[in-house]
Structure 1
Amino acid sequence: MENREQPGEIKQCPVHGYFRGRECTCGNPGRFVLSGYKAEKLGKIISGALRHFPADLGLDMDEHGWVSLRDLTRVIERKYEWARSYHVDAMFKTDDKGRYERKGDKVRARYGHSLNIKPDYPEFDGDKLYYGTSEEEADRILEIGLKPVNQHFVHLSKSIEEAVKVACIRTEHPVIIEVDAKKARETGIEILDAGPVCLTAQIPAEFLQIG
């Protein structure tokens, strides 16, 4: 039977470490580490633990969203008997979307929280940001502004291309809303730079237009 590579499968290059895909950037096919199926399982529990329900898993999270990586690993090892600490390490090191941040023995999700945390990121200092949405929602947003839905913050993209990618998850006909971030900040609206995305409590309609 043909041995086909699983989507999301994690491998390890002896020179460059963990990677996802057919081969490392150096061309090395790598050593198998984790199947795509198991990587998806770990991804879901990591996301839940760091964004939505740390207390349910017995994790202590500080006000800025940090938890102990050691404690998180123990939770995962208890839930999945096949999971090992190097699997968790591989998950974080192969995350190409910048969803997570590590600092020593601490780890946190950069964005996507349904929890009420206090991000301590620097303020975004650019002029424009973007929000991708559907045709149906665009008119409503332009009328009432951008407000969080199922998350504690509004997530804004730094480029039109990224906004399109986000919108295409939900719709085949994305509409891109341009945010005048500079003018919004001048009125006292806080916009935080979380790396891949920017976070804010809300953006009033007066600072929005179709991009």
Structure 2
Amino acid sequence: MIRKCKQHGYFRGELCPECDDEGRYVLDDEREERLGRFISGALRHFPEDVGLEMDSQGWVDMDLLCDIMKKRYKWGTTERLISLVESDRKGRYEIDGSFIRARYGHSVEIDLVPDYPENELPYLYYGVSQEEADMLLEDGITAVRQCYVHLSTSLDKAMQAASIHTENPVIFEIDAGSAQEDGIDIIVVNDNIVLVKSIPAEYISIKEAEE
């Protein structure tokens, strides 16, 4: 559920995490899920199919998106879209004036490198299945279904991400510092996720479990 606190803005849950105020109702769980699926598809995967024109950095006109959204969902107000974006704990989307875009997760081809800061962490992490590990250690990691490879900023986050797809993931440690020194662009989109087009095998090693 999304609610709005007068003092701290939109939040998810029953009470504002900053002041325990119950706030004002904005969106229930079912509608939040339905709107979230639509926005994800429109901003990441099939903008043209819903009638949107996306620029090379992934931005679309927010007023047009709202008009399209309202035709599909009579309850799909602009405020509810904004609440979905501003309360999202994973930082999936961003609004800049009259434009909106997804920060990551694109399957359509876009260029985010000019807009986000360079990674400053020396090492990053990526989780894979046991079956994939040997092949990727030899061939490197390349985006397949998405525009960018999504690396994690911590071992725990990589484990969480990989555990969605496999029960016993192998965690790679990526020598990001060396990769960037050699000209590979790695950009930061939020506290947990950085993006790269590909990582050659020479920068990848298996992160051994710490005792």
Give TM-score, length-normalised by structure 2.
0.91
Find out whether 1:200 has 2:196 as its counterpart: yes
Residue number in structure 2 paired with 1:73: 66
1:198 positional shift: 1.4
Q: Give the conservation status (yes or no) of the 8 Å contact 2:124–2:152.
A: yes
2:206 paired residue among 189, 192, 210: 210
Looking at structure 2, the residues matched to 106 and 183 of structure 1 have their Cα atoms a distance apart, in angstroms, of 35
Find out whether 1:109 has 2:102 as its counterpart: yes
Find out whether 1:176 has 2:168 as its counterpart: no
Find out whether 1:148 has 2:143 as its counterpart: yes
1:149 positional shift: 2.2
Amino acid at match of 2:203: F
Q: Give the conservation status (yes or no) of the 8 Å contact 2:85–2:91.
A: no
Q: Tell me the alpha carbon deviations over residues 31-58 of structure 1, each in whole angstroms, 9 at most, x when there is no partner.
A: 2221111101110111111111111111
Range 73-82 or range 134-143, more displaced: 134-143
| Runs of at least 5 residues in structure 2 that lack an aligned partner in the other structure | none
Residue number in structure 1 paired with 2:162: 167
SS at match of 1:173: coil
Amino acid at match of 2:31: K
Looking at structure 2, the residues matched to 149 and 61 of structure 1 have their Cα atoms a distance apart, in angstroms, of 21
SS at match of 1:77: helix
Range 181-190 or range 92-101, more displaced: 181-190
Amino acid at match of 1:85: T
RMSD after superposition: 1.3
Q: Tell me the alpha carbon deviations over residues 153-209 of structure 1, each in whole angstroms, 9 at most, x when there is no partner.
A: 111111112111111211222221100011112222221222242111111111101
SS at match of 1:143: helix
Residue number in structure 1 paired with 2:152: 157
| Runs of at least 5 residues in structure 1 that lack an aligned partner in the other structure | 1-8
Give TM-score, length-normalised by structure 1.
0.91
Q: Tell me the alpha carbon deviations over residues 4-25 of structure 1, each in whole angstroms, 9 at most, x when there is no partner.
A: xxxxx11222322221112111
Looking at structure 1, the residues matched to 103 and 9 of structure 2 have their Cα atoms a distance apart, in angstroms, of 23
Q: Tell me the alpha carbon deviations over residues 49-89 of structure 1, each in whole angstroms, 9 at most, x when there is no partner.
A: 11111111111211111111111111111111121111111
Residue number in structure 2 paired with 1:49: 42
SS at match of 2:22: coil
Range 186-195 or range 125-134, more displaced: 186-195
Q: How many residues align?
A: 203
1:31 paired residue among 4, 24, 48: 24
